[in-house]
């Protein structure tokens, strides 16, 4: 049979038009964001356990390991515990800023805005939702309704099942039942109401780790948690099919587990400090695939997805770098030069051009943590592609700042046309 042939230029034109239509559709789609914390799963155990739904999410974007627990041996180092991990993600800062160091959550520093507060103040028209067993996630970490936390109001709340002993008597398997309720309600609400931003917390996998270690029962709980993630993700997929919505989906954990058996966590071993991200996104950037991905990177990624107008004072305090959308630098760090009083300030550059400029500055104060504003002193305009700047530190700076572990600390800020990074520099008096 002789078939009619379409000229190649016509095919190319049709293909181009189709791609443009898809891009136009995405540009007009309503952005949505949801992240799910599945508690206490080490990366190696996750990757050797059947998790088809987490795999499906990764296939629609990517998967990578990340770091939690702050900068090892630095001012921001913190225990690898649950509430700390939740707040790392929730605020985009390490514990030295948000001030949550234990599951007791005694005195959070609400000057570092949670995602819920940022949305409440900058985009109150967006709907927010929280699905969690623990009420502390809402009442303490977010500080819902507290004046000092900005009077945050969450539109949709499904939590507190850990306190409902009549419906969930605390017998064997009750945490699994709670997680099932949380995930089921999250899926129902997402399908019917499609909140703009949601946080889902699942607890059961950490519970089995503490009780059984990382044996077959812990692995079974991971596969079960994956099925709950699947309920939620199916609702997302239906929303995307039935509505013109662009969903960013991230699944992560709050900490790894200790060796040799995984019963505990909280320390600074590499395995305890390693977490992971499974993400659905069409615009993952180079940073996501790097070796420098961090827990706190989720916060600015959600900010970018939802198009939030973040105040510069808050943005300059973030410890995270967005892993979606445009980004130029990450992994800001310092080390002493062989020359006296010279610090090598280094970063990783992701841009394609050689002459993109940024600025370095420093502050000797930490007024932001007390609700004030820090004044920054200009150091230099720098070529970002150099990935290094030699700073001849004035002698006076080693005598000021604030003291911690026999050093005086100042804040460094790197600002670029696409993102900013900050780090604490400890100077020996």
Residue range 329-427 in CATH 2.60.40.10: yes
Average pLDDT over residues 5-13: 41
With contact defined as beta carbons under 8 Å apart, do 348 and 426 qualify?
A: no
Q: Is the peptide bond before 260 cis (omega within 30 degrees of 0)?
A: yes
Structure tokens at 99: 């001030």
What band does 26 get if pLDDT is binned at 50, 70 and 90?
low
Res 305 pLDDT > 70: yes
How far is it, in rounded angstroms, from Cα 251 to Cα 245? 19
Q: What is the pLDDT of residues 387-424, one digit of tens each?
A: 999 999 998 887 777 677 778 889 999 999 999 999 99
What are 318-344's pLDDT values in tens digits? Answer: 999 999 999 999 999 999 998 888 999
- Residue 17, classed as helix, strand or coil, is helix
pTM for the model stands at: 0.91
Q: Of 385, 383, 327, 299, which Cα lies nearest the Cα of 112?
A: 299
Q: Where in the chain is the domain with CATH 3.40.720.10?
A: 28-315
CA distance 310 to 56: 32
Residue 185 token pair: 């309600």
Whole-angstrom distance, CA of residue 322 vs CA of residue 318? 10
Enter the tokens of residue 61. 């974007």
Residue 369 and residue 97 in contact, taking contact as beta carbons nearer than 8 Å: yes
In the chain, CATH 2.60.40.10 sits at: 329-427
Rounded Cα distance, 218 and 210, in Å: 9
Distance CA 387, CA 360 (A): 12
Q: What's the rounded Cα separation, in Å, for the pair 185 and 190? A: 8
Q: CA–CA separation, 131 vs 195, rounded Å?
A: 12
Rounded CA separation 121/60 (Å): 32
Report the first-to-last Cα separation within the chain, whole angstroms: 87
Of all residues in the chain, what percent are helix, strand and coil, respectively (each to 5)?
Answer: 40, 25, 40
Give the mean model confidence (pLDDT) for residues 50-75.
96
Whether the per-residue pLDDT at 19 is higher than 80: the answer is: no
Q: How far apart are CA 427 and CA 429, in angstroms?
A: 6
Residue 27, classed as helix, strand or coil, is helix
Q: What dotted CATH number matches 28-315?
A: 3.40.720.10
Q: Is the pLDDT of residue 1 over 70?
A: no
Tell the burial category of 124 from Cβ atoms under 10 Å away from its Cβ (0-12, 13-18, 19+).
Answer: exposed
- Strand 61-67 and strand 156-158: the pairing is unpaired
Measured between alpha carbons, how far is 152 from 116 in angstroms, rounded to an integer? 7
- Condensed to tens digits (0 to 9), the pLDDT of residues 169-226 reads 888 889 999 999 999 999 999 999 999 999 999 999 999 999 999 999 999 999 999 9
């Amino acid at each position: 049979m002789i078939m009619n042939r379409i000229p190649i230029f016509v095919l190319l034109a049709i293909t181009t038009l189709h791609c443009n239509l898809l891009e136009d559709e995405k540009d007009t789609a309503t952005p949505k964001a949801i992240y799910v914390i599945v508690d206490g799963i080490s990366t190696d155990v996750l990757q050797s356990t059947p998790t088809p739904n987490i795999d499906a999410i990764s296939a629609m974007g990517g998967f990578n390991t990340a770091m939690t627990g702050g900068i090892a041996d630095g001012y921001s180092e913190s225990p690898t515990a649950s509430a700390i991990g939740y707040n790392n993600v929730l605020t985009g800062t390490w514990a030295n800023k948000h001030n949550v160091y234990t599951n007791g959550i005694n005195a959070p520093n609400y000057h570092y805005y949670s995602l819920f507060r940022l949305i409440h103040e900058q985009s109150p028209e967006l709907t927010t939702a929280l699905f969690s067993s623990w009420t502390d996630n809402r009442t303490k970490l977010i500080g819902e309704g507290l004046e000092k936390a900005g009077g945050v109001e969450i539109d949709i709340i499904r939590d507190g099942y850990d306190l409902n002993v009549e419906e969930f008597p605390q017998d064997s398997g009750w945490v699994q039942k709670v997680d099932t309720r949380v995930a089921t309600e999250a899926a129902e609400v997402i399908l019917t109401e499609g909140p703009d931003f949601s946080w889902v917390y699942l607890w059961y996998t950490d519970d089995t780790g503490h009780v059984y270690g990382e044996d077959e029962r812990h692995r079974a709980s991971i596969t079960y948690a994956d099925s709950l993630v699947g309920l939620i993700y199916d609702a997302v997929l239906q929303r995307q099919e039935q509505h013109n919505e662009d969903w960013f989906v991230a699944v992560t954990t709050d900490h790894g587990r200790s060796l040799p058996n995984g019963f505990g966590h909280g320390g600074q071993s590499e395995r305890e400090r390693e977490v992971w991200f499974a993400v659905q996104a069409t615009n993952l950037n180079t940073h996501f695939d790097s070796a420098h991905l961090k827990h706190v990177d989720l916060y600015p990624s959600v900010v970018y997805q939802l198009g939030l107008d973040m105040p510069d004072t808050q943005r300059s305090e973030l410890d995270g770098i967005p892993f979606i959308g445009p980004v130029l630098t990450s992994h800001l760090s310092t080390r002493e030069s062989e020359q006296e009083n010279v610090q090598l300030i280094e970063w990783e550059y992701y841009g394609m051009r050689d002459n993109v400029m940024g600025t370095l500055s420093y502050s000797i104060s930490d007024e932001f943590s007390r609700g004030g504003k820090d004044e920054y002193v200009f150091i230099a305009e720098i070529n970002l592609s150099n990935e290094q700047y030699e700073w001849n530190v004035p002698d006076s700076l080693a005598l000021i700042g604030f003291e911690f572990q026999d050093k005086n600390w100042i804040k460094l800020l790197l600002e670029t046309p696409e993102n900013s990074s900050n780090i604490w520099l400890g100077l020996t008096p």
